[in-house]
Amino acid sequence: MNARGKSLKGKRRITFTLVAPKARQVFLGADFNQWQPDKHPMKKGKYGAWTRTVYVPPGEYEYKFWVDGEWKMDERNSKTRRNLYGTHNNIIEIASK
């Protein structure tokens, strides 16, 4: 996850990363995409690192990764919040400039 980047009409460019070398498909699900992971498929790169760059306004967001049909947490981000389903989501805070 990288919370730094260029702005686009008040939005910030954020790159999410998940290392999952054995995964066949990975998507990014978040409240900024209405938890519809198919909106943000991730691309597999070297060494099994999956990435996706999105543009979102500053604020606080919850997210998870949809990996081969199962929700997975971002193990590199210790900020979490309990959700309505009794599990947890990761939290990202995006600062304005």
Q: Which domain holds residue 44?
A: 7-94
Handedness of CA 66, 71, 76, 82 (dihedral sign): positive
Instruction: Write the CATH number for 48.
Output: 2.60.40.10
1 domain-assigned: no
* pLDDT tens-digit readout, 42-86: 999 989 999 999 999 999 999 999 999 999 999 999 999 999 999
* pLDDT tens-digit readout, 12-46: 999 999 999 999 999 999 999 999 989 999 999 98
The tokens describing 68, both together, are 């081969």
How many domains are contained in the chain?
A: 1
Q: How far apart are CA 81 and CA 12, in angstroms?
A: 22
